[in-house]
A and B are shown apart, each in its own frame.
Chain A
Amino acid sequence: MSHYESQVREPLIIGHKTYHDITEDIARPIENKSGKLWWFAFSIALVTFLYGLGCIAYTIGTGIGVWGINRTIGWAWDITNFVWWVGIGHAGTLISAVLLLFRQKWRMSINRSAEAMTIFAVVQAALFPVIHMGRPWVGYWVFPVPNNFGSFWVNFNSPLLWDVFAISTYFSVSVVFWYMGLIPDFAMIRDRAKKPFSKKIYGILSMGWGGKAKHWQRHEELSLVLAGLCTPLVFSVHTIVSFDFATSVIKGWHSTVYPPYFVAGAIFSGFAMVQTLLSVMRKVMHLEDYITRQHIELMNIVIVVTGGMVAVAYLTEFWVGWYSGSRYEDFTYFSPGAAVGPYWWAFWALIICNVLVPGLLWIRKVRRSFFWTFVISIVVNTGMWFERFDIIVINLSRDYIPSGWTMFMPTFVDVGIFIGTNGFFFVLFLLYARTFPAIAQAELKTILKSSGESYKKHHTEDDHHHEH
């Protein structure tokens, strides 16, 4: 056989599968009707989404003062949630682009859903820069468009403008990368469709794809180059998001470790979100043979590695805060002032959720357990929300002038909008899971013969025969 793979590697596709079985398994959720559970989850998500929309409308109609922010703390839940959602999105690109460059075959059964997660998370993130504006109706002024004010341009020195470029590039390139991968899979659904309506829809979506040899050659080149472009893109986007803080003069924000540290945190929380989603998805959509314990363990290892990087960054901040000799640095993020100050609970929530609990993933039994993976993934995302909250609010609450010191208390509108974005995210994700091929079947079929369980067994037997 031409497919050689070391027997040390665990199979990535369980059971005796053929190419056709993969097609069937991936098409099943699209071709069958939604179950009660789906409608239940979708209803809850839709209601929370609508509630969040109401809160957004209330904010825009009444004024930004309905939020808990004040004259000292001008950024709080809005930008916390923005950074949190952008961070969640990053794992999707990491899985589809970085793991492609490293030729990691295990990415193939998870990349489609991870990319969907990216896109839906970036949609949530992109809401915040708009709705946190005092006058969102002139939000289009951030674009350098020729105009009637003597062509009054934008200021390219601001990281908030870099954000506009970074987020819109990230979103649009992610969508295109995802879509290009979906074309052959939509074609597969199109060719199976029995109802004229779905045949029409998937016919439009698949753009006439036929799987010609030349087209596949170009498709693989396109995927590789897009992966090569997305990898620096994903690093740059969260770097630019971190510049919102790092380029400021606020103590605790003005830190050169932010760009890599934010990126590590983004991967950390993003992978946690992938784990949360996939551990449910594999059960509900019966994809256990494709999203295996091995996939879960490998993602947990990525979480441990990036969690370690984040922990090192916390220590660095702590150390540099002391080493700087600046008295202002004593109240910063991760400095003694933060640990025992009025926001001590937020500080310790972060240490427990981001450093101590994910540390359990060093234990093999824990990181191979579906149950503990699910629990820890939620803990990590809670911790990463607190990380952004701590960075933003703790540093702002105690700034250079003590007469400006204050506290922040969110209002129901702050909370409502955040819950609403969670609802919106799940509305999109649940719709995706019913209508899109959740696994990149064309990619998965390329590794069936090298990483499928029955094929691997077959190879072992072959080797055995050769020895005698």
Chain B
Amino acid sequence: MSTKTIYGIYGDDEDLLKAVRSFNKEGIAIKEIYTPFPVHGLDKAMGLKKTRISDMAFFYGLYGTTLATTMTWFMMNHDWPQDIGGKPSFSWLENMPAFVPIMFELTVFCAAHLMSLTFLVRNKLYPGAKAQNPDPRTTDDKFLMEIESSDIDKVKEAFINTGAEEVTVRDLNIA
């Protein structure tokens, strides 16, 4: 028996959640789920790990602070330590209050932009990328579950029992 891709389409997010739980019980591995909006609790039901992009954002922010600190120190205190309006330029710390706005903005700038880039890269999103959802209705009001299995009848039955509106079977390479 060859392995095939089986799609089940649900019309309601609650039916979908119930189906995920029942598939877990039956030991059918879910390949992917496509939904038109974030369904609350779906990641837990599917057993997805917590995302780490917010941890990354913290480090990107630290990078921004470091960048601003180094830049202000180098330009204002090291390279050209001038007297501009009586501001002390002997050491970075003496004139630090004037650098706070820059440090803050660069922290936010780096954290926000680098995190967004990480998001795009990790999700393989880029201008011109092929649509990742196999059925266009999943961005409107349908919820699609994708399963790869060789036991097609069992999966089909599980889909029908959990209230799927539509079940389709495709060869792996076509999907």
Contacts and interface: CB of A to CB of B under 8 A. Distances in A.
B5 to A, nearest CB: 15
Interface in A214-229: 214-222, 224-226, 229
Interface string B93-113: 001001101101110110111
Contact of A183 (B43, B46, B108, B125): B125
Contact of B42 (A208, A213, A219, A224): A213
Interface stretch (B72-80, B147-155, B158-166, B167-175): B72-80
Interface in A142-193: 144, 151-157, 159, 161-162, 165-166, 169, 172-173, 176-177, 180, 183-184, 187-188, 190-192
A208 B132 CA distance: 6
A284 interface: no
Contact of B34 (A165, A210, A220, A221): A210
Nearest to B135: A191
Nearest to B146: A212
Contacts of B35: 211, 213, 216
B34 A212 contact: yes
B139 to A, nearest CB: 4
A204 B127 contact: yes
Given A155-B84, A177-B112, A165 B102 contact: yes
Q: DSSP majority for the A interface?
A: helix
A446 B76 CA distance: 50
Chain B interface size band reads: 35 or more
A218 B119 contact: yes
A207 interface: yes
B104 to A, nearest CB: 6
B85 interface: yes
B126 A156 contact: no
Interface in B29-83: 32-40, 42-43, 46, 48, 51, 53-54, 57, 71-72, 75-76, 79-80
B108 A173 contact: yes
B108 A169 contact: yes
Contact of B139 (A151, A191, A205): A191
Interface stretch (A4-12, A17-25, A263-271, A412-420): A17-25
Given A20-B140, A165-B106, A208 B129 contact: yes
Q: DSSP majority for the B interface?
A: helix
B122 interface: yes
Contacts of A211: 34-37, 132-133, 138-139
B109 A169 contact: yes
A462 to B, nearest CB: 14
B131 A210 contact: yes
Contacts of A173: 108-109, 112-113
B42, B43, B95, B122: most-surrounded residue (chain A CB, <10 A)? B43
B141 interface: yes
B112 A176 contact: yes
Given A153-B79, A190-B131, A446-B40, A213 B105 contact: no
A155 B115 CA distance: 29
A153 B75 contact: yes
Contacts of B116: 176, 180, 222, 226
A226 B53 CA distance: 11
Interface in A412-448: 441-443, 445-446
Interface in A344-361: none
A36 B104 CA distance: 47
A442 B38 contact: yes
A92 interface: no
B33 to A, nearest CB: 5
Nearest to A152: B80
Contacts of A318: none
Contacts of B27: none
A224 B51 CA distance: 12
Given A2-B14, A157-B84, A442-B38, A210 B115 contact: no
Contacts of B101: 159, 162, 165-166, 236, 240, 243
A2 B14 CA distance: 9
Interface in A11-57: 18-20, 23
Contacts of B51: 214, 217-218, 221
A159 B84 CA distance: 13
Nearest to A179: B116
Contact of A442 (B32, B36, B108): B36
A210 B133 CA distance: 4
Contacts of B104: 232, 236
A147 B36 CA distance: 50
Contacts of B112: 173, 176-177, 226, 229-230, 233
A182 to B, nearest CB: 12
Given A154-B75, A446-B40, A207 B129 contact: yes
B21 interface: no
A209 B141 contact: no
The 8 closest A-B pairs by CB, nearest first: A210-B132, A208-B129, A210-B133, A19-B141, A191-B136, A207-B125, A153-B75, A162-B101
19 contacts: A2-B14, A23-B36, A153-B76, A156-B76, A156-B98, A172-B113, A176-B116, A203-B128, A211-B133, A212-B132, A213-B34, A213-B35, A214-B123, A216-B39, A221-B51, A222-B53, A232-B104, A240-B105, A446-B37
Given A218-B53, A229-B111, 17 more contacts: A153-B76, A155-B84, A162-B105, A169-B106, A180-B119, A184-B37, A191-B131, A191-B140, A208-B125, A209-B132, A210-B34, A214-B43, A216-B43, A217-B43, A233-B108, A236-B108, A442-B36
